[in-house]
Structure 1
Amino acid sequence: MKLDYIKVCGAPFAVPVEYAALRSANTSDGACAVFAGSVRDYNAGADVSGLTLEHYPGMTEESLRRIVAGARSRWQLGRVRLLHRTGPLAVGEDILFVGVTSPHRQAAFAACHYIVDRLKTEAPFWKLESGAAGERWVAARRSDRRELEKWRTD
């Protein structure tokens, strides 16, 4: 069975289905950590009615593979399942699923957190928010960059 599943997709996914796939026939890992992100109705002081995510095919998947490889180099991991939506999304729709299994909880928690932190600042996705005030491109926040600093080892 393949240990890493990385997918950039335009179609919706179901978090319970992705969790079941992550855990299916996996009796060697006793820990699983999951993060699911969805479109909020408010950001940076403005109402949000929708979000469009763009990416550069090929480059995006390679970036996600490097991020997962970075997690594998730090912790003993079983499976990693990472799905990221693209295209137009409505408020409440799931954007991101990151699931990590490991023999031990500390590694699963840390790796899941690490993957999300790196993805927020390094993966080549471009977000266009829509709302009553019009459309605006969303950049990585300073707080996202600060979170990434805790993983630096150099």
Structure 2
Amino acid sequence: MQEPPKAEVKAWTPGDAMPRKAIAVLWDRENNETFEGVVDLAADSVASWTHIPDVTPNFTVDEYHDVDEALRVHPDVVKVLSERGITDMSLVLIDVWTYGREVMPEQWRDRRLGWCDLWLRKTPTGNPTRTRSRASNSSWT
């Protein structure tokens, strides 16, 4: 949501209209371009549409899933984990994080980029937030 200025909210009284706007970030996969739209929910219209150069939005749910599947079978990942005695990939939590615009390395701004922390669970259904053992201190991009 794009919240109205605090002064407008404080000045509101019952019966007054309150503008409601939402921000949508959209990614054109074909051209690797990101756009930010502001939608006026009350007026059912697009209030603004802006191209945001040199940035890609957060990964999609499908991309998080694809990264997880790819790393579980990637020979380098399997080898490094095996060298640490980790051979049961069902115990590995692959925690994918994406770069925001502020920290995206300049040379990779034309890509979808993230990093992964890998954590070892005690059981395949173990609570990842209770994990104490880090499977790797390396990142693969």
TM surpasses 0.5: no
Larger strand share, 1 or 2: 1
Larger helix share, 1 or 2: 1
TM tier relative to shorter chain: under 0.3
The alignment's TM-score, normalised by the length of structure 2, stands at 0.27
Which has the bigger relative contact order, CA under 8 A and spacing at least 6? 1
The alignment's TM-score, normalised by the length of structure 1, stands at 0.25
For the pair shown, which has the larger CA radius of gyration, 1 or 2?
Answer: 2
